[in-house]
Amino acid sequence: MSGHSKWHKIRQKKGATDAARAKIFTKLAKAVTIAARDGGGDPSMNFTLRMAIDKAKAGNLPKDKIEKAIVRGTGEGGEGQLEEVVYEAYGPGGIGMLIIGLTDNTNRTVAEVKHVLGKHGSSMAGQGSVMWMFDRKGVIRIDEASQVGDRDEFELSLIDAGAEDIRDDDGGLEIITGPTELQKVTEVIIGLGIEIDSADLTYIPKDPQEVDETAQEKLQILYEALDENDDVSDVITNEK
């Protein structure tokens, strides 16, 4: 009996791991599809697609799935087109939330997001009521700051390329740019022989807010519930 129980637990764990991997693959593939839809299927001519492909490869998304995602984005796959959606919401402790989604059925996605929010004591907000709390920025992340040799020279090169801020971040670096400067700054970093972890357009809170421990715990549970939805690709808050 004990052997059977151990095997059952291993199968359960493997099933959970496989399910988590499938969800990650779905989100990565959708990001590739959106990038191909917006800028074409040639990564040499579409910077956003190139970054999405790099991120997908880093997440071990198989090559055939990447290629299929590109085909879908360019409209050659015959599948429903994906649309990017941004939902504004108030979470535990009154925290402002932006819920980013990639979906082929907006009615389904908004209903599911509303259900998750309501279940966790949160609510959708009116258009513009939360968005003003954030700025649209490019964010480049470098996992290993030790890759940088001369820090002063590195920072000057990035500032010349249009970087707005360079922050130390848990052993790595986070570089903030304007939306139109993201590509140029990224290419300068790559040209210096430095490996980047990610380069994305995202939202940054203008005035991060502190929340108490109870609200933090509720937020974490809400994040996990939203992440279970395949259509939700990112959740951004103004929590400090």
> What confidence tens digit (pLDDT) does each residue in 177-190 have?
999 999 999 999 99
Region(s) of the chain under CATH 3.30.70.980: 83-128+209-237, 133-205
- Residue 169's pLDDT is what? 84
* Alpha carbon 41 to chain centroid, angstroms: 20
205 closest CA partner among 176, 234, 237: 237
- Where does the chain hold its CATH 1.10.10.200 domain(s)? 2-73
Residue 213, CB-side half-sphere exposure with 13 Å CA sphere: 0
Whether domain 133-205 has CATH 3.30.70.980: yes
pLDDT digits (tens, 9 = 90+) for 143-154: 888 899 889 999
pLDDT at 12: 42
DSSP output for 147-202: G-SSHHHHHHHHHHHTEEEEEEETTEEEEEE-GGGHHHHHHHHHHTTPPPSEEEEE
Instruction: Find out if CATH 3.30.70.980 is the number for domain 83-128+209-237.
Output: yes
**What is the per-residue pLDDT for 10?**
35
3-class DSSP state of 144: coil
Answer positive or negative: Cα dihedral of 21, 169, 90, 95: positive
Q: How confident is the model at residue 16 (pLDDT cuts 50, 70, 90)?
A: very low
pLDDT of residue 227: 86
What's the CATH class of domain 2-73? mainly alpha
Q: For residue 61, give the H/E element and its range.
A: none
